Amino acid sequence: MKKLAIVGLVSAALFGVATYSIAVQRDSDSALLREARKYFQPLPKEIPAPPDNPTTKEKVELGKMLYYDPRLSLSGVISCNTCHNLATYGVDNVETSLGHGFKTGGRNAPTVLNAGFHIAQFWDGRAKDLEEQAKGPILNPVEMAMPSPELVVERLKSIDEYVKAFKKAFPQDKDPVTYDNVAKAIAAFERTLVTPSRFDEFLRGNTKALTKTEKEGLKLFIEKGCVSCHNGVGVGGNMFQKFGIYKPYPYQDPEDLGRYNVTKNEADKYVYKVPSLRNVTRTYPYFHNGKVWDLREAVKIMGETQLGITLTKEEVDKIVAFLDSLTGRIPEHALKLPVLPPSSPNTPRPQK
């Protein structure tokens, strides 16, 4: 009987320790959640649309077709999806994208996923919204190289199914096949490209959505000051910042002056839009010139250049673990290839 009593006391003591540990962990998780909610918000189901371009089913369907259609390029082989491949999280996973005539630009193609939450588009913020951004690459001689908006419209108007699709998407317009409406349709489609992740589950109150290591990484991400730039719905994307506050970025091209090229303000030299960190484990290589392929190296560089600190290997590993919790689910509808309408005998031919 004494042995049984001792065993019972030991079991009760162990149970009490376990219960206490669980309670402590629960309190710790709750505190971390409260702290995280000061800096981050979970993704909504859809990106808000501007008043002059409300999101409709017809517009999204048209925009998806245009997004995947290489006939928006002069050569007839490059589409939006070429550089912003939705199957690889909205990027092409190369330093700088291959464009018309095998030309390459000077900057890495950022992901299109969740891009509508950003303060502006492109690394230097030269486009105010998705509509303005969509117009750029089509006419850029290094990218899709169409010589004019008129040729884009001519190609589309020569395809009966596109004419019908534009009429459905823009029923109020007498002449709906316009370059502005091309951009509006693509932007409407892109506003559906929202990728919720386990981190959103955590922010909504499910503290079990993250592992112990990921929570430790989140805690470090906050404590080290990463949240000073990478915050909000996109965990970034909502501000501009100089790259190289405490130490120069080691792979900086001195000729790329960043936002200065847009504003001509001396203070904007080497200033870029802070990228969103959502899906960052899948959107390599990193930074505006795509020179860094290892996310751990990227985190280490950020600590040195932007925060003036040297992160230990353990700290880097934990932060990278947290960043993996930002990997979201690509919408199924975006990954289903549209069947594109055939060209007609009157469709202007591709050009080299």
Burial class (CB in 10 A: 0-12, 13-18, 19+), 136: middle
- At 89, the amino acid letter reads Y
Long-range Cβ contact pairs of 58-61 (< 8 A, separation 24 or more): 58/165, 58/168, 58/169, 59/169, 59/170, 59/184, 59/185, 59/188, 59/189, 60/185, 60/188, 60/189, 60/192, 61/165, 61/169, 61/338
Question: Residue 167: phi, psi to the nearest 5?
Answer: -65, -40
- At 87, the amino acid letter reads A
With beta carbons less than 8 A apart as the criterion, state whether 229 and 271 touch: no
- Token readout for 315 is 């700290």
Q: Which residues pair with 273 in a beta bridge?
A: 240
Token look-up 């995280």 returns 36
- At 29, the amino acid letter reads D
Q: Which of 95, 143, 214, 216 is catalytic?
A: 143
SS3 40: strand
Which has the closest alpha carbon to 135: 123, 121, 124, 115? Answer: 121
Which has the closest alpha carbon to 189: 53, 94, 287? Answer: 53
Q: Mark whether 154 is an active-site residue.
A: no
Residues 6+ apart with CB under 8 A from 215: 29, 32, 207, 322
Residues marked as catalytic: 143
